[in-house]
A and B are shown apart, each in its own frame.
Chain A
């Protein structure tokens, strides 16, 4: 059997097991660390997320979009008012924000920039994802990483053809009536063809896993205060998936490309993000695994400091990265230099790969050079 087949087989046969053993798995694997990556796809506007409220340039650049009622958290930074749920997390020393993050010669194309962030290759080809390279370096199994969503990310695409687990809350099979019963019954017959049998098992196990995952979701939502919106449910599902102790969880949240109607769109998205993160933080603490989960929130680029003429902002360069968990809390990477823009965009102060490097080194205990090809200086958000 080739390695690829092995990995896939393992994936389907362990799928059920890992989701069924919700209670036991935790105690059995108390030291398992999980990195949860939340990708804000489309380019989140960092300047209206962590607002440089004391900088006079800010409102000059954004006469209509500038936010005047932010929630000050330092002498230079105010939170977007719809991120108010992050304030207690910041105050409980569980949130680090690294500002002005990008890479040398930032690319303003969504596609290219996403590829760069996800591969951690700033030049040339972007075949493999940095997370997949990390997972391969520790001989991870297919079930060690879970992607929640539809479009499988490059970050989790490895050198081999195998894929890590992919789930979506939309996957419930409609098994109603006579036909539904007939399908269920047909799937109880083992297949003689090997591939057909693989299909049968994957279907049965995926179905059972999804049923298991969705079972207590409403209870979880009520217990920890997740929002009842579709995005709130996704966050609750992340909370549920953490019980399977994966090494990596990955989710993409779309909609951040605010060329128009930025105010309303970003407001809604940030509110969902804030609510989701705070519910997840409560959920994690309630289970006593607050030192076992590290959450990174990133976006492929920030947006142009000056607002455009259509109620939005165009593609920019540097933006903030949030790290939630057992961190040395606070703001890193300086305030955005609104007075020294480069081609109308923010100058880059932190290479995103130095964040990855610190996570690899301090959180995963892996030599960053193996995954990133070079060393980076420490930022210090992990102490």
Chain B
């Protein structure tokens, strides 16, 4: 990979694709990485106000989504943003079930504050968030009336994975996780997670080999320090940021980083982005952009101003709206998006996003690139591929942009 391609690849993985300015700047990928890992962008999540019903509630959710889209596109620290996205996709909660958007603002703060921190702290914050307590029913789980939903998923999907626990561990874990309730303060728009000791099962539990009057803290400790968690989190991070199906030796290597650095996510992320494999052919353009990536990435790279309702409409038509995953397993990856709605919609969106609407079209695009070649450099690492250049002939710069956004190569990340 030459320096330019290397940087474009780096920016596709650490952000949603570089802008013209970022790609042409003199700063090197190693500098950017160090800077983004070191600097902590303090993001102000919007205050949605009092908890409302019906239409007002719906509008609060839209306001939240508008903020989220803007943040994803123009984060000061794009790597931190991508890692936050990773956790949002990992620790799935759905607004369809939890209904109140104020759950999400609280959840965003928790994910963002811990995105690159200690996985134990992240897991703790997610576990006791009102969003998760509500989504996987742990707020219903109390002594004498056990609900195993969170106990099961936290092991199966969030930490150690299938095959590393028994049904008994699920039951015992559920008992240890008892005691939490959520309390709404409607007027001030806050939802509190409270531990009520009288709702906690104070008996002895045996969980993944440890016995005692275990509590939520113990479950989180045991899971965060479990070697399988180290492997699973490492594997998933690698899959997302480098390539699918990492070799076992890579997973082992990263798991050690996790274990030797007190479960530091930052250490694992740094190891991933500084590995030689990161710039390998196996990694390069190996991912299919999901709908969120396609849409927000296009807006970001081309610096298009967009009406958030248009963005939402586009995402809905492609089948991926944030906080709306169909199941707790989350979204499909890569080839899971080789579907008619996901791909055909992109061809229409490519045209919509780049048209000249005058004053009111929902998208405002001012081409900064002055030639087809420059657009190909910005969006395709300068690699036109078969047929592209010929088909650019006679098209305006806006049309060339739409053509590139529609092209098969542009769908790769």
- Chain A residues engaging chain B, CB cutoff 8 angstroms: 4-5, 8, 11-12, 109-112, 124-128, 150-154, 157, 161-163, 165-168, 170-171, 173-175, 178-179, 182-183, 185-193, 195-200, 202-203, 206-207, 209-210
- Which residues of B, 397-411, contact A by the 8 Å Cβ criterion? 399, 402-403, 406-409, 411
Partner of A179, one of B96, B316, B351: B351
CB-based contact B403/A170 at 8 Å: no
What B residues does A12 contact at CB under 8 A?
338
CB-based contact B97/A186 at 8 Å: no
CB-based contact B340/A206 at 8 Å: yes
15 A–B contacts from the bound complex (CB under 8 Å): A4-B335, A111-B99, A153-B326, A161-B336, A166-B341, A174-B351, A178-B395, A178-B399, A179-B402, A183-B406, A186-B391, A186-B406, A190-B386, A196-B412, A199-B343
A222, B1: Cα distance in complex, Å: 59
What B residues does A125 contact at CB under 8 A?
149, 152-153, 328
CB-based contact A152/B319 at 8 Å: yes
Interface residue? B35 (CB, 8 A) = no
Interface residue? B334 (CB, 8 A) = yes
A196, B284: Cα distance in complex, Å: 12
Interface residue? B327 (CB, 8 A) = yes
What B residues does A189 contact at CB under 8 A?
385-387
Given contacts A163-B332, A182-B395, A199-B408, whether A154 and B327 have CB atoms under 8 Å apart is: yes
What A residues does B287 contact at CB under 8 A?
195
A109, B328: Cα distance in complex, Å: 17
CB-based contact B409/A193 at 8 Å: yes
- Which residues of B, 327-358, contact A by the 8 Å Cβ criterion? 327-329, 332-336, 338-341, 343-345, 347-348, 351
What A residues does B392 contact at CB under 8 A?
182
CB-based contact B327/A157 at 8 Å: yes
CB-based contact A182/B399 at 8 Å: yes
CB-based contact B343/A202 at 8 Å: yes
Chain B's closest residue to A12 (CB) is B338
Q: Which 4 A-B pairs have the closest CB atoms?
A: A189-B387, A206-B340, A196-B408, A189-B386
What B residues does A193 contact at CB under 8 A?
285, 408-409, 412
What A residues does B406 contact at CB under 8 A?
183, 186
Given contact pairs A150-B316, A166-B340, A197-B408, enumerate 6 new A-B contacts (beta carbons under 8 Å).
Answer: A8-B338, A110-B96, A125-B153, A173-B344, A183-B406, A191-B409
- Which residues of B, 370-406, contact A by the 8 Å Cβ criterion? 385-388, 390-392, 394-395, 399, 402-403, 406
A13 to chain B, nearest CB (A): 11
Partner of B328, one of A110, A127, A150, A209: A127
Interface size of B in residues (CB-CB distance below 8 Å): 52
A62 to chain B, nearest CB (A): 23
Partner of A111, one of B96, B148, B407: B96
Chain B's closest residue to A119 (CB) is B327
A315 to chain B, nearest CB (A): 13
What B residues does A5 contact at CB under 8 A?
335
Interface residue? B105 (CB, 8 A) = no
CB-based contact B399/A179 at 8 Å: yes
CB-based contact B326/A191 at 8 Å: no
What B residues does A126 contact at CB under 8 A?
327
Chain A's closest residue to B409 (CB) is A196
A128, B328: Cα distance in complex, Å: 10
CB-based contact B412/A207 at 8 Å: no
Chain A's closest residue to B335 (CB) is A8
Interface residue? B114 (CB, 8 A) = no
What A residues does B385 contact at CB under 8 A?
189, 191-192
CB-based contact B391/A195 at 8 Å: no
What A residues does B329 contact at CB under 8 A?
127, 157
Given contacts A127-B329, A182-B391, A191-B385, whether A166 and B339 have CB atoms under 8 Å apart is: yes
